[in-house]
Amino acid sequence: MKWIAAIPLAALLVGLPFFAGDFYVNLASQILIAAIFALSLNLLVGYGGMTSLGHASYLGVAAYISALLTSRYGWGHGAAALFSIAGTTVTAAFFGIIALRATGLGFLMITLALSQVLWGLAYRMSNVTNGDNGIAGLTRPMPFGISLDSAASFYWFDLIVASFAFLMMTIFVSSSFGSSLKGVRDQPRRMAALGFNPWMIRWITFIYAGFWGGIAGLLYVYYNKYIHPTSLSTTSSAEALLGVIAGGSGTPGGPVVGAALVLLLKNYASAYIERWNMLLGLVFLFIVLVMPTGIVPGLSKLLRRGSR
Amino acid sequence: MQFWIIQGLNSLSLGGLLFLLSSGFSLIFGLMRLANLTHGAFFMLGTYFGATTLRAYSGLNIWVTALGAGLAVAAIGGLFERLVLTRLKTNPLGQVLVTLGMSFIISDACLMLWGGDSIPVPTPHNLQAPTRLMGFVFPTYRLVLVGCAIAAAIALYFLIERTRLGAMIRAGVDDRQMARAIGIPVSNLFTIVFCLGAGIAGAGGVLGGPILSAYPGLDGDMLPLALIVVILGGIGSLLGAFVGSFIIGFIYTFGTALFPELAYIILFLPMIVVIAFRPQGLFGRAGA
């Protein structure tokens, strides 16, 4: 009977622009983008046991490719989107080959180093990327001739993509491939003994996660109509990782809740104080020390105890 | 010719700095199995300490300042290790995340305290005159810096290989549980090594100040270099950190001088090659 509870939630999500102002609709759009991004990272962290600190690479690569193609080379949005997603997926495949030579902390350090390299490129290659000025004056696409410039229309577009992404990623982890992924996470040697190829399973997951990271990046650049090297920075990767861990890694809904919380906190806090990075650091300490399994598993444990 | 020699010396001095940074990182990783992502922030903290004190008291010796900053950063590192990291002994991922959080806190605190402008650190008076050697002119301070890194490497080597403390650290690296069982206080060793690593980074930050100057984002520039050095040299290996530092020093300096826009790509090529053929790094042990 779980799905009955989903109906009012879906109605609420679809109907949001009818009763909320533009500010909240835009906030919801950003949350959806962050949620897709966190969900894609969760495939690696939660289901694959591969903690990546460089996931912003895929968001940034997709966003930069799309921004460059549409603004500098005058490509249409459709072709640019396809090309940027393909480029991001190839990047993920390449980074995966390098990073998956190691596991655990080595994997984490290599993903961090790789993403820092991209960040450095975006910053220093100013004749291509405009460096610290970023690329401004971008446009949103017009799928089927519908303008996405209003807050509500972009939100609905975002919601469709996010729902599809959620569905696809949930199917991915609940498929038999997802089971073998979880098996590789918990018992890589036994899985290898059973005839599975742990490296291949991890690599495919890495690419798939990069693909959805790229989708989030496209939406990100459509929403902001602007791209800056900070979206490739460690802070950006860390925010997503915090969302995953705060919400509960390895759960289907946890990263959505976590990403929403991080984004709300960032928006709310930056209205009052300038010290977002310090706050982010403190939240990291708090979550890891006090709620290591995340909010969603923690709450559902409480609920189960209450209903008994 | 002058270009190659000067850039060569610059490479050596950057390599020396990188060794001061990455040796501590490597020591901490070797013993504690902890990727200390605060390390860049410790280095930056040292640079800011150095900048403030050396500008306020112009007569102050840079070595004394480096020692003081090293001790101060070691104290901060020690507190962090005792208060936070020890609580997460069973949670290695949590430890990494906490060091990441700590690095955000430190770098933001530096931004708050010292502002967003870069602060140059004065070169010590007695080292300002250039050295003439075989008809070439060298900046003296950079030569001294290379010597300093070599001295630090020798001191660390003797500490690890020739002292009782070093023997205990090696025992802890090889087999933590066995070391505990024969009565080595491993958790105290953790604190000592963490303080030592943080202290070297802090002192290195002061010594690097006259070359790099203190600016926000220094931590983010240094940490990936340290990561690349230890991935290249082999995580947890002192020799690997030494060799890796100078390799990266050369690649980065010449890359920036010859192909400024591609320096980052060139930097990461040797890492890919090493990972592809020797995932444990040049001097790392398999399975470490």
* Sequence ranges of the domains in chain A: 2-307
Q: Which residues fall within 8 angstroms of residue A80, CB to CB, at 6 or more apart?
A: A65, A66, A69, A70
Residues above pLDDT 90, as percent of chain A: 26
What pLDDT score does A86 carry?
93
pLDDT over threshold 90, residue A206: yes
Q: Is the dihedral of CA A238, A244, A250, A256 positive or negative?
A: negative
* pLDDT one-digit tens code per residue, A75-121: 888 888 899 999 999 999 999 998 888 887 788 888 888 888 888 88
Identify whether the C-beta of residue A156 lies closer than 8 Å to the C-beta of residue A17: yes
Residues in chain A: 308
pLDDT over threshold 80, residue A44: yes
Q: Which long-range contacts (CB under 8 A, 24 or more apart) does B268-274 make?
A: B268/A113, B268/A114, B268/A117, B268/B228, B270/B232, B271/A113, B271/B228, B271/B231, B271/B232, B272/A98, B274/B231, B274/B232
Among B97, B109, B267, select the one facing A278 at the smallest CB separation: B109
pLDDT over threshold 60, residue A208: yes
Residue from B84, B108, B221 whose CB has the most chain A CBs within 10 Å, to mutate:
B108
What pLDDT score does A214 carry?
93
Identify whether the C-beta of residue B95 lies closer than 8 Å to the C-beta of residue B85: yes
Q: What is the DSSP letter of B126?
A: G
- Can you state the angle between helices B39-56 and B92-114, rounded to 10 degrees? 20
CATH of A2-307 given 1.10.287, 1.10.3470, 1.10.150, 1.10.357: 1.10.3470
What pLDDT score does B61 carry?
82
Residue from A50, A185, A189, A284 whose CB has the most chain B CBs within 10 Å, to mutate:
A284
pLDDT over threshold 90, residue A304: no
The tokens for B150 are 């070599």
Q: Which residues fall within 8 angstroms of residue A272, CB to CB, at 6 or more apart?
A: none
Strand partners, B214: B119
* pLDDT one-digit tens code per residue, B6-51: 888 888 889 999 999 999 998 888 888 888 889 999 999 999 998 8
What pLDDT score does B288 carry?
42
B108 and A CB contact within 8 Å: yes
pLDDT over threshold 80, residue B106: yes
ipTM above 0.90, yes or no: no
Chain A 213-252, CB below 8 Å of chain B: which residues? 233-235, 238, 241-242, 245
Per-residue pLDDT, averaged over B244-270, amounts to 83
pLDDT over threshold 70, residue B287: no
Residues in chain B: 288
pLDDT over threshold 90, residue A246: no
Each domain of chain B, given as residue ranges in start order, spans 33-124+134-215, 217-288
Q: What is the DSSP letter of A227?
A: B
Identify whether the C-beta of residue B235 lies closer than 8 Å to the C-beta of residue A106: yes
Distances from the Cα of B2 to the Cα of B8, B83, B147, angstroms:
10, 51, 21
Q: Could you give the angle at the alpha carbon of A179 between the alpha carbons of A176 and A183, nearest 5°?
A: 140
Q: What is the DSSP letter of B5?
A: H
Which has the higher per-residue pLDDT, A22 or B189? Answer: B189
A114 contacts in chain B (CB < 8 Å): 268
Distances from the Cα of B65 to the Cα of A288, B4, B22, B236, angstroms:
35, 32, 21, 28
pLDDT band at B286 (very low <50, low <70, confident <90, very high): low
Tell me whether residues B265 and A282 touch, CB distance under 8 A: no
What pLDDT score does A307 carry?
63
Does the predicted TM-score (pTM) go above 0.90? Answer: no
